[in-house]
Structure 1
Amino acid sequence: MSEETPLEGEEATGDAAPRPSRRPRSRAHRLCKRLARPVVERFRASLQLRVVTATLAASASLVVIFGFVVAATVTNGLLSDQREVSVQDARDAAVTLADNLSDYTSPRDAALSNAFSTYLTNLLDQTNSATAYTLSTSDGTVAQTRPVEADTTVSPELADSVNGGYMATQYQTLSLDDGETPYLVVGVPIDNLAVEYELYAYYPLTNQNEAVNLLRTSLVVAGGTLVLLLGVIAGLVTRLVVSPVRQAAATAHRLAAGLLHERMAVRGKDDLARLAGSFNLMAANLQTQIRRLETLSVMQRRFTSDVSHELRTPLSTIRMAADLLYAGREDFDEPTRRSTELLATELNRFEDLLSELLEISRFDSGFAQLDTEAVDLEPIVAEVIAGFSALAEECGVEIELDAPSHHVVAEVDVPRFTRIVRNLVGNAIEHAEARPVTVTIRDNDTCVALSVRDRGIGLKPGEAERVFDRFWRADPSRNRKTGGTGLGLAISSEDAKLHNGTLQAVGEPGRGTLFLLTLPLQKGNRAVNSPIALALDDDEGDSDGSR
């Protein structure tokens, strides 16, 4: 004997659905992307959310796999038990029918139809499991079904197996009751008589189906509850770990903001407590080092200021003596005269250095103040350029002033603005390598900008950020014409900040350097949206200023 597995339904076919247009799909994609962006950002920003989500996903996967395995095992067990009982019942029914039908020798016997009806009714009265029987001759000439009003059509595959002399079973959904009901159909051939018969017994699987549905419902409820419980546990456990980390991040943020006394709370003696203790030790060391550096910085500034002030008195005396010597240098011999001139030159440089050190000390102590007035900036810039005419001619540098045709009036501290321009132009001449220097003035509704562009040696990568450091020089070995101290650009940057402005630099080796000064037109405002771009274009234009 052989058995057949349940047949799968054929897949329905039909006309292909029209393809949706690209436009709605693209619009829906953008909408979904826009709606999902906050969720994705929240997911990336929260370690606790990622851990809980991963735990839920893993536990849900395990619960689903476990549920499928348990449901399949229980279902197969129930169906296997029912099949064994049904097959044995069908065999007994076949034996009973074989005894009752042994007297009939022809399928065309007129009494055979009534005998089918009687015997099947007796079978239905004797069994408690089968709800319907179908009995027919192998050639199908005589058939009788009980109950006669039921649709007991079997599949062709099952009929072919039984017609071939094999006992076969198959699971089918039949309309034997008020609705569609799953049944186990057992087909048994009766072929030891003069007439070959086929018996089909129908056993309902309602109880098994209800048991499986109840099991699945229980698994879904239990699995969902277990997943939620695991999610809650994961959230609580993760919170125990994440909370100290968040506290450490918040404390580090406050430390970075200057609150050096901030510390983490140390609870217990576990790994997190040791982490908090190590963090507090690090914060204490940082606080000690920062305070030490602040003390050293204050001492250094105070030392610079004190030395600068204290040197002015002896320097004044030396200056008077040097002036007397310089005035009578014509009466000296050549070596003494040269020494007198060198003494006067170096005293001038020394006075410039002291003046710049005193200015730096005023910036450091916060005593620097602005004395602003509304002035036209172009004449000031032109006067500074004219003052460098001799040096420019000596260096072979041509200076070009590019200014608007209208007056550029801004509220500035004239001496400080003049010092900025003088430092920038002198620096450009010194590094121009006998190439032209362009000074550009532009303004807009809120700001005025001045750029000084040379086409000399330029700046190496990383030097644009250091060019405003004190005593820093891009090339200390160069032959310098102006005898600078390395403080001019640093003082210019502080003067720009004092005006609520900015002083920036950009350069490339071989292309030169551009210094860009941006100041607000009115005192108290801030410099934003500079009229000149910070770029090494040969034709720096203004964004919205007019010529």
Structure 2
Amino acid sequence: MQVRVIGSIFVATTLVMIVLGLLMVSVVTQRIVDSKIDVANSEIDRARVAVEEQVAATASGTSTQARLNSVRAALTNQNAQMNPAASYEPVLLVSNRDDTVTTAPENFHVPERLRYFVNENQISYQFSAVSRTDGSTYNALLIGTPANTDIPGLQVYLVLSMEADESTVALMRGIISAAAIVVVVLLVGIAFLLSQQVITPVRAASRIAERLANGHLRERMSVEGEDEVARLAMSFNSMAESLSKQIEQLQEYGKLQEQFTSDVSHELRTPLTTMRMAADFVLEHDEDLSAPTRRSLELLQGQLDHFEKLLEDLLEISRHDAQAAALSVNHVDVRDCIYSAWGQVRKLAEELGVEVRFHNPEVALDATVEPRRVERILRNLLANAIDHSEGNPVDVHWARNDTTIAVTVTDSGVGLRKGDERHIFNRFWRADSARVRHSGGTGLGLAIAQEDAHLHGGVIEAVGTAGVGSQFRLALPIEPNKPLGAIPLDLVTPVAKEVPESAGGAGTVGTASAAGAAGAADLAAPAVAFADPADPANLAETAPPAPPAPLAPPEATAAPERRTPDV
């Protein structure tokens, strides 16, 4: 800001001084010229009278050139004696009948335009360059008048040199320029000193604000005097004190909340374990139980599973809130995590009749990650895609480059309404509270997945179209917390598109998702048109592929009993 202020003052002052300097030079120059013209007008009248007297005193029998030289010499002597300050050079000119001119001094050139006006019996003047005998030139004021003598066409001219006046104007320009420079430097210096008095407290406030932002809540500005800067310092200190108290209160409330969540989760584990043991014991001896009682115990056991999963998620999210979550990384092929997550949600996909298709299974995803957390992220994404796909296929693509791996999960189901992508990772948020969850999620799954991705230095993003489908993209750096480079898979919003007409009958218009790796030129993902899974012609595309060795195929992964979280 100080540079802008001083720069503005410098530019404004320079422009003002230039304008004033030009104006002053113009005024002074005009005054000098006007004074020169006044002197010339007064001198030309005296010179004309003197020439007429001198011509009358000369003998008419001599040549015109001789008479002009004699008159000019007499006029020069008279001017030197009577008015030494008015220095001029007299010139006499006679226009001959043969269009030649006779001048004294000889060969003196008078501008044609000036001669024309003088020949019209007018006193006229003109600024012109005059040549000396040595060939040099100088600027001069030429003023002429006709003379009434026995020499026909005699004209009298006075040549007043402008060299002294030009020197005066040049000196004045130098003085004005020097004065302008001095004034500009002084004003800039004064502006710098004045701005320092204002900028210094502002800079101090900025430094203290930065330290406050970095956690130094005891920083305050020094208050000196009672001017506006002092009042600013007092206001800043009051604001800092208020913010410090509120931040400390929020930190205390946050600690209490984290402690409460952790304590409640731990304290509920004991009765929950006891209840599960009791329910398991009763179900092992259910021969004597009636059908309603047995059904009630099964429902109780399902709710105990859900409650246990909720406690696990609460403990995990509390660790993230307390910034106590730490990575335990290994160099693995992330395809293992994908297929392991698929094994855990396969049962849900079979129950809902959802086909999950894996594309580009030959592309390795070697990276240094914590497999447990990455598997949890992918399990949540797959479970949500299956749960919201409305029976349509789910497509999984992956790719990598030198810095980043990426996995996209695309469904063609209920999709996302406009603005839902800003809330979908919020805790316990649901796009449609009336919709039944098939996966039995706790509402913390995507929130934990986002925290796990951030813990690796990666991101999870989501896009979708209501009634068409949605796409989630997980991007992780090859090394934890390294800069995330260009993501090898584009995040594509699913759009409704027309399914091509089949060979056996009339075509129909349906919805399909624009899924795939549009950004990976080297990964030619198969086109996804969501053909009927029951069609044998599509089995090669729709069946989940067996991963390349040494990966365990998805068919070998047992699906655990625990439920998968939802949004």
* TM-score, normalization by structure 2: 0.78
Does the Cα contact within 8 Å between 2:363 and 2:399 map onto a contact in 1? no
- Which residue in the other structure is 1:60 paired with? 14
Does the Cα contact within 8 Å between 1:432 and 1:455 map onto a contact in 2? yes
- Which residue in the other structure is 2:91 paired with? 134
Residues 1:517 and 2:517 are matched in the alignment: no
- Which residue in the other structure is 2:442 paired with? 485
Question: Offset at 1:216?
Answer: 1.7
CA distance in 1: counterparts of 2:71 and 2:395, whole angstroms: 120
- Which residue in the other structure is 2:250 paired with? 293
CA distance in 1: counterparts of 2:450 and 2:151, whole angstroms: 120
Question: Offset at 1:170?
Answer: 1.9
- Which residue in the other structure is 1:74 paired with? 28
Which amino acid is 1:120 matched to?
A: R
Q: 2:199 aligns with which of 238, 242, 246?
A: 242
* Deviations 1:68-90 (CA, angstroms, capped at 9, x unpaired): 33223322333333332332222
Does the Cα contact within 8 Å between 1:432 and 1:454 map onto a contact in 2? yes
Report the CA distance shift for 1:375/1:131 in structure 2 as closer, same or farther (over 3 A).
Answer: closer
CA distance in 2: counterparts of 1:78 and 1:527, whole angstroms: 76
Report the CA distance shift for 1:98/1:380 in structure 2 as closer, same or farther (over 3 A).
Answer: closer
Secondary structure at the aligned position of 1:268 is classed as coil
Secondary structure at the aligned position of 1:87 is classed as helix
Report the CA distance shift for 1:130/1:375 in structure 2 as closer, same or farther (over 3 A).
Answer: closer
What pairs with 1:78-117 in structure 2 (closer than 5 Å)? 78-102=32-56, 109-117=61-69
Does the Cα contact within 8 Å between 1:440 and 1:452 map onto a contact in 2? yes
Structure with the higher fraction of residues in helix conformation? 1
Report the CA distance shift for 1:235/1:533 in structure 2 as closer, same or farther (over 3 A).
Answer: same
Secondary structure at the aligned position of 1:127 is classed as helix
Report the CA distance shift for 1:83/1:514 in structure 2 as closer, same or farther (over 3 A).
Answer: same
Report the CA distance shift for 1:429/1:118 in structure 2 as closer, same or farther (over 3 A).
Answer: same
Q: 1:225 aligns with which of 171, 182, 192?
A: 182
CA distance in 2: counterparts of 1:74 and 1:406, whole angstroms: 86
CA distance in 2: counterparts of 1:524 and 1:360, whole angstroms: 20
What pairs with 1:215-364 in structure 2 (closer than 5 Å)? 215-327=172-284, 331-333=288-290, 335-364=292-321
Report the CA distance shift for 1:328/1:451 in structure 2 as closer, same or farther (over 3 A).
Answer: same
Report the CA distance shift for 1:98/1:471 in structure 2 as closer, same or farther (over 3 A).
Answer: same
Residues 1:175 and 2:131 are matched in the alignment: yes
CA distance in 2: counterparts of 1:391 and 1:272, whole angstroms: 67
* Deviations 1:472-509 (CA, angstroms, capped at 9, x unpaired): 22322211112211111222233334445443333343
* Deviations 1:102-154 (CA, angstroms, capped at 9, x unpaired): 47898xx5444433222211111111335432223454679654444xx5311
Report the CA distance shift for 1:236/1:152 in structure 2 as closer, same or farther (over 3 A).
Answer: farther
CA distance in 1: counterparts of 2:489 and 2:315, whole angstroms: 32
Q: 2:517 aligns with which of 531, 536, 540?
A: 540
CA distance in 1: counterparts of 2:448 and 2:246, whole angstroms: 28
Residues 1:205 and 2:162 are matched in the alignment: yes
Give unmatched runs, 5+ long, in structure 2: 81-85, 494-513, 525-547, 549-567
CA RMSD of aligned residues (A): 3.2
Report the CA distance shift for 1:538/1:184 in structure 2 as closer, same or farther (over 3 A).
Answer: same
Does the Cα contact within 8 Å between 1:75 and 1:212 map onto a contact in 2? yes
CA distance in 2: counterparts of 1:460 and 1:436, whole angstroms: 20
Give unmatched runs, 5+ long, in structure 1: 1-46
* Deviations 1:224-260 (CA, angstroms, capped at 9, x unpaired): 2212222222232233333333333333333333333
Which amino acid is 1:167 matched to?
A: I
CA distance in 2: counterparts of 1:303 and 1:117, whole angstroms: 123
Which amino acid is 2:180 matched to?
A: G
Which amino acid is 2:122 matched to?
A: Y
CA distance in 2: counterparts of 1:84 and 1:96, whole angstroms: 19
- When structure 1 is superposed on structure 2, of 414-423 and 486-495 the one drifting more is 414-423
What pairs with 1:144-155 in structure 2 (closer than 5 Å)? 145-148=103-106, 152-155=108-111
* Deviations 1:184-228 (CA, angstroms, capped at 9, x unpaired): 222111136574421112222333222222212211211222122
Does the Cα contact within 8 Å between 1:456 and 1:510 map onto a contact in 2? yes
Question: Offset at 1:529?
Answer: 4.7
- Which residue in the other structure is 2:114 paired with? 158
The higher relative CO (CA closer than 8 Å, separation ≥ 6) is in 2
Report the CA distance shift for 1:137/1:495 in structure 2 as closer, same or farther (over 3 A).
Answer: closer
- Which residue in the other structure is 1:458 paired with? 415
Which amino acid is 2:68 matched to?
A: F
Does the Cα contact within 8 Å between 1:428 and 1:454 map onto a contact in 2? yes
Report the CA distance shift for 1:396/1:84 in structure 2 as closer, same or farther (over 3 A).
Answer: same
- When structure 1 is superposed on structure 2, of 321-330 and 256-265 the one drifting more is 321-330
Secondary structure at the aligned position of 1:388 is classed as helix
CA distance in 2: counterparts of 1:411 and 1:132, whole angstroms: 101
- Which residue in the other structure is 2:505 paired with? none
* TM-score, normalization by structure 1: 0.80
How many residues align? The count is 497
- Which residue in the other structure is 2:531 paired with? none
